[in-house]
Amino acid sequence: MDYVRDPFLEKWRQKEQGEEDVYFARRDRELIERLREVNGATERRHVQELVRMRCPDCGEKLIRSERDGVPIAQCAAGHGMWITESELHLLAERARSSWIARYFYQPKPIV
């Protein structure tokens, strides 16, 4: 049997094909966007894990220790010490002879 070209049927098929293309293009964009969000969140989490508890100057792992019962983190290479604000207030409330008071209030030699 010969295929008879029906212009209306041909237009109808083109319309359906166009709608299908639009549907799949939209779906692909949504999937790509979701994949970007997942990759971005994963990348952020990896960066956070890489920099967590590391010295911002040299990148080495910070060492946890304790001063007068207050937990601190410090760089083994001497680039600094890190303490939370509440822990700092706790130290400040203690006697002026505490290590932080000596650190902040002791006169520094002039070189």
Q: List contacts with Zn ion (CB under 5 A).
A: 55, 57-58, 75, 77, 79
In the bound state with Zn ion, the residue whose beta carbon lies nearer, of 73 and 90, is: 73
Q: How far is the CB of 53 from Zn ion (least distance, A)?
A: 12
Q: What span, in angstroms and rounded, lies between the C-alpha atoms of 84 and 93?
A: 14
State the SS3 of 1-45: CCCCCCHHHHHHHHHHHHHHHHHHHHHHHHHHHHHHHHHHHHHHH
Q: How far is the CB of 82 from Zn ion (least distance, A)?
A: 11
E strands within 37-92?
63-67, 70-74, 81-82
Q: How far is the CB of 85 from Zn ion (least distance, A)?
A: 21
Exposed (0-12), middle (13-18) or buried (19+): which is 54, by Cβ within 10 Å? middle
In the bound state with Zn ion, the residue whose beta carbon lies nearer, of 6 and 57, is: 57
In the bound state with Zn ion, the residue whose beta carbon lies nearer, of 67 and 79, is: 79
In the bound state with Zn ion, the residue whose beta carbon lies nearer, of 73 and 101, is: 73
Q: What span, in angstroms and rounded, lies between the C-alpha atoms of 31 and 37?
A: 10
Q: How far is the CB of 103 from Zn ion (least distance, A)?
A: 18
